[in-house]
């Protein structure tokens, strides 16, 4: 039987879609003149996926990567909240010091000698201060560097007018009070312009993560603003490598197959002017580059793959294909198939606002009936502090979260029942939120009393007395690009105001992604077999604000129709219902999207993270374990799928 035909699968080697810009020929321009020779590929290595990434990445890329550009991504919504707090304490802070002291200072001479140009969003909330600190490093090393800074993302100076222009934010909520920070996600064009002006290093504040790669590609290849397929391909290369080792085997579903974590290779995108690119890593490094590792990263932290909104292009990643390249030292994959449409006239803006104070206590506890002891301790601490609040005239907690780590309660109804009296060692996770700082300080002090006045077996408090910290919640909204003033500085001097060209933008609605009707799968062969999802698929999950996404990629094309049939939006919502928070009755909180190019599904889970980021009291505020939790999902009533591919 031709199973591929029965399951409606395309041939194993589909025709390669063109990656050229709209209306372009194989020469990229319609012209009566002979084609110019193709430009040499550009090699871009990413040495950081977040603030706190390993310092071992820079030397492997610098000395073994044969790079044209070295890029660093440090920013997330949580990081921006932390940097905003730091800048509030001192005007000289607000950037990521690791970039200056750990990533650049030891290697700045060799970076300059090799002619490798650097792009980083390490500026965070204070890019000018970051550049000034970097200039001191260059001066001390006696190297002359042109250090450019892109500013304009920080909109706090316009907060009063924005409150009038934007009365409501995401989900229709009123514009919040107590705004702490407000940053637009800028695009790649200001970065490319800074490189055009001769910058050796470009430091930015908030920008979309992929722009630190797309900017150098626009500069190198001269891609026009209307070559949307090229811009989408360049954005995809940035999306794949901007999280560092996450696409070279980090946090891979098949983690046990990934060698040498201690020396995991960081990714390099070797990009050509026609938009095609290869993802590789330095030789003699660990990690793994495969279809699975790169497909997981492709689907990481995205929403609708047909409408991935960026400042420079609206990307369609749904038909992207990933092909392993055999015999390549260190491993490599070729990625193709991204297409693009015009971007909108708006920037996405992330605002943070103060909403009380929080603290989290983590207490290991051992001995028989550890779960029962842990829960009673947590509840008793809350009861005692509430009694004290009442005496002092304080209101109740705004929110609490009790988790007994080790009991599998994060799995909700899917937790495995422990034998006998359960585990003999657990960790109490007790997090609280209150409007008043003094109330949380009382909670922080009272934790220690459990060690002598409650259940036996509490062995300590991880990190000592819980730290009291402000809660900065995110709020997202769109803001007209024409209202954002972007400036470029070089070695501390203003050199240019960047003008965003809006002639190649559009706010026309993209066709919605219509879920495939299950009728299309009604003729699928069935059978008596059942599989854990991990047997048939890879998974990866991440966060955006208070929403999480879970990507599921079939290990073999023949498995894909069965995944589509079993993993509907409804089944995923039911599976995670204990973690979803509905704001109104009947609200649907899970949306499914399809990526047939990699035989993948993407699920977006709204209101699934308890507020997300620093606002969440959960032990997994970013949904990092959601994909792992789904691996035990049962795919039932199917034929012997393993035999189909043997």
The pLDDT tens digits of the residues spanning 175-192 come to 998 898 999 999 999 999
**What is the predicted pLDDT for the residue at 1?**
39
**What is the predicted pLDDT for the residue at 476?**
93
Residue with tokens 């970051």: 130
Q: Pick the residue with more confidence: 231 or 165?
A: 231
Averaged over 54-82, what is the pLDDT?
Answer: 94
Extents of the domains making up the chain:
40-349+476-498, 368-456, 518-644
Averaged over 542-553, what is the pLDDT?
Answer: 94
What distance in Å separates the CA atoms of residue 99 and residue 87, rounded to the nearest whole number?
A: 17
Q: Which residues contact 268 (CB under 8 A, 6 or more apart)?
A: 43, 44, 45, 46, 61, 65, 67, 241, 279, 280, 281, 282
Biggest distance spanned by C-alpha atoms of the chain: 87
How many other CB atoms are there within 10 angstroms of residue 306's CB atom? 20
Strands (E), 212-289: 268-271, 277-280
State pLDDT tens for residues 475-496: 999 999 999 999 999 999 999 9
Q: From 69, 382, 408, select the one nearest 218 (Cα to Cα).
A: 69
Q: Are 421 and 369 in contact (CB under 8 A)?
A: yes
**What is the predicted pLDDT for the residue at 17?**
31
Name the phi and psi angles at 347, rounded to 5.
-100, 145
State pLDDT tens for residues 382-400: 999 999 999 999 999 999 9
**What is the predicted pLDDT for the residue at 62?**
98
pTM (predicted TM-score)? 0.91
Q: Which residues contact 34 (CB under 8 A, 6 or more apart)?
A: none
Q: From 426, 423, 432, select the one nearest 459 (Cα to Cα).
A: 426
What distance in Å separates the CA atoms of residue 426 and residue 448, rounded to the nearest whole number?
A: 17
**What is the predicted pLDDT for the residue at 511?**
55
**What is the predicted pLDDT for the residue at 19?**
30
Averaged over 426-449, what is the pLDDT?
Answer: 97
Averaged over 242-265, what is the pLDDT?
Answer: 97
Q: Which residues contact 453 (CB under 8 A, 6 or more apart)?
A: none
Reported confidence tier of residue 39, pLDDT bands at 50, 70, 90: confident
Residue 212 has pLDDT above 90, yes or no: yes
**What is the predicted pLDDT for the residue at 473?**
87
Residue 436 has pLDDT above 50, yes or no: yes
**What is the predicted pLDDT for the residue at 513?**
52
**What is the predicted pLDDT for the residue at 427?**
97
End-to-end CA distance of the chain: 14
Element (H, E) at 547: strand 547-554
User: From the centroid of its chain, how far is CA 420?
Assistant: 41
Task: Tell me the average pLDDT of the chain.
Answer: 91
Averaged over 228-238, what is the pLDDT?
Answer: 98
Residue 601's alpha-carbon distances to 96, 483, 622, in angstroms, are: 35, 37, 20
Q: Are 641 and 531 in contact (CB under 8 A)?
A: yes
Q: Please say whether the dihedral angle defined by the alpha carbons of residues 387, 393, 395 and 397, taken in this order, is positive or negative.
A: negative
**What is the predicted pLDDT for the residue at 34?**
46
Averaged over 367-377, what is the pLDDT?
Answer: 95
Residue 287 has pLDDT above 60, yes or no: yes
Residue 6 has pLDDT above 60, yes or no: no
Averaged over 106-110, what is the pLDDT?
Answer: 97
Residue with tokens 């609200």: 587
Averaged over 450-467, what is the pLDDT?
Answer: 94
Q: Give the DSSP letter of residue 18.
A: P
Name the phi and psi angles at 478, rounded to 5.
-100, 145
Strands (E), 11-75: 42-46, 69-72
**What is the predicted pLDDT for the residue at 10?**
39
What distance in Å separates the CA atoms of residue 615 and residue 103, rounded to the nearest whole number?
A: 30
Residue 608 has pLDDT above 60, yes or no: yes
Q: Are 510 and 308 in contact (CB under 8 A)?
A: no
Q: From 135, 155, 247, 148, select the one nearest 192 (Cα to Cα).
A: 148
Reported confidence tier of residue 5, pLDDT bands at 50, 70, 90: very low
**What is the predicted pLDDT for the residue at 514?**
52
State pLDDT tens for residues 122-153: 999 999 999 999 999 999 999 999 999 999 99
How many percent of the chain have pLDDT more than 90? Answer: 79
**What is the predicted pLDDT for the residue at 530?**
96
Reported confidence tier of residue 420, pLDDT bands at 50, 70, 90: low
């Amino acid at each position: 039987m031709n199973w591929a035909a029965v399951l409606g699968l395309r041939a194993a080697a589909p025709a390669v879609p063109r990656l050229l810009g709209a209306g372009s020929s194989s020469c990229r321009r319609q012209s009566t003149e002979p084609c110019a020779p193709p430009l040499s590929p550009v090699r871009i290595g990413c040495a950081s996926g977040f603030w706190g990434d390993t310092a071992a990445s820079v030397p492997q890329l610098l000395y073994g990567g044969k790079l044209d550009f070295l890029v660093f991504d440090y920013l997330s919504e949580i990081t921006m909240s932390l940097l905003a707090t730091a800048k509030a304490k001192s005007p000289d802070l607000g950037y990521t010091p690791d970039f200056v002291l750990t990533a650049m200072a030891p290697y700045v001479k060799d970076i300059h000698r090799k002619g490798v140009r650097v792009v980083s969003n390490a500026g965070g909330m204070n890019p000018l201060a970051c550049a000034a600190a970097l200039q001191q490093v260059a001066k001390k090393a006696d190297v002359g560097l042109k250090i450019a800074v892109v500013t304009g993302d920080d909109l706090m100076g316009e907060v009063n007018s924005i409150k009038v222009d934007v009365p409501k934010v995401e989900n229709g909520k009123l514009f919040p009070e107590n705004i702490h920070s407000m940053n637009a996600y800028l695009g790649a064009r200001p970065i490319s312009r800074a490189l055009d002006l001769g910058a050796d290093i470009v430091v930015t504040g908030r920008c979309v993560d992929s722009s630190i790669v797309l900017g150098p590609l626009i500069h190198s290849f001269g891609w026009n603003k209307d070559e949307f397929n090229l811009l989408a391909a360049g954005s995809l290369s940035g999306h794949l490598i901007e999280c560092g080792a996450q696409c070279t085997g980090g946090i891979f579903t098949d983690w046990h197959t990934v060698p040498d974590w201690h020396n995991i290779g960081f990714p390099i995108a070797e990009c050509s002017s026609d938009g095609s690119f290869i993802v590789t890593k330095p030789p003699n490094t660990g990690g793994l580059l495969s279809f699975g590792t790169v497909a997981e990263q492709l689907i990481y932290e995205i929403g609708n793959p047909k409408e991935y909104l960026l400042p420079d292009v609206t990307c369609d990643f749904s038909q992207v294909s990933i092909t392993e390249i055999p015999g390549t030292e260190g491993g490599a994959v070729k990625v193709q198939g991204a297409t693009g449409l015009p971007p909108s006239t708006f920037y996405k803006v992330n605002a943070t606002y103060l909403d009380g104070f929080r603290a989290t206590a983590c207490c290991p506890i051992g001995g028989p009936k550890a779960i029962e002891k842990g829960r009673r301790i947590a509840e008793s601490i809350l009861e005692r502090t509430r009694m004290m609040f009442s005496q002092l005239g304080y209101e109740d907690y705004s929110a609490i979260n009790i988790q007994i780590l080790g009991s599998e309660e994060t799995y909700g109804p899917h937790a495995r029942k422990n034998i006998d009296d359960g585990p003999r060692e657990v960790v109490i996770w007790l997090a609280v939120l209150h409007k008043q700082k003094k109330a949380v300080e009382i909670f922080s002090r009272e934790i220690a009393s459990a060690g002598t006045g409650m259940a036996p077996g509490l062995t300590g408090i991880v990190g000592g007395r819980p730290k009291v910290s402000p809660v900065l919640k995110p709020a997202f909204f769109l803001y007209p690009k024409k209202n954002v003033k972007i400036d470029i500085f070089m070695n501390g001097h203003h050199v240019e105001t960047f003008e965003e060209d809006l002639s190649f933008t559009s706010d026309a609605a993209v066709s919605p992604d219509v879920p495939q009707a299950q009728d299309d799968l009604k003729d699928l062969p069935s059978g008596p077999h059942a599989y854990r999802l991990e047997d048939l698929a890879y998974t990866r999950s991440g966060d955006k604000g208070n929403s999480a996404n879970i990507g599921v990629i079939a290990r073999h094309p023949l498995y894909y129709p069965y995944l589509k049939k079993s993993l509907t939006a409804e089944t995923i919502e039911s599976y995670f219902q204990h973690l979803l928070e509905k704001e109104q009755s009947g609200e649907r909180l899970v949306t499914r999207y399809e990526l047939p190019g990699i035989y993948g599904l993407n699920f977006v889970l709204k209101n699934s993270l308890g507020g997300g980021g620093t606002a969440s009291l959960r032990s997994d505020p970013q949904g990092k374990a959601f994909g792992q939790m789904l691996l035990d999902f049962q795919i039932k009533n199917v034929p012997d799928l393993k035999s189909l591919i043997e």
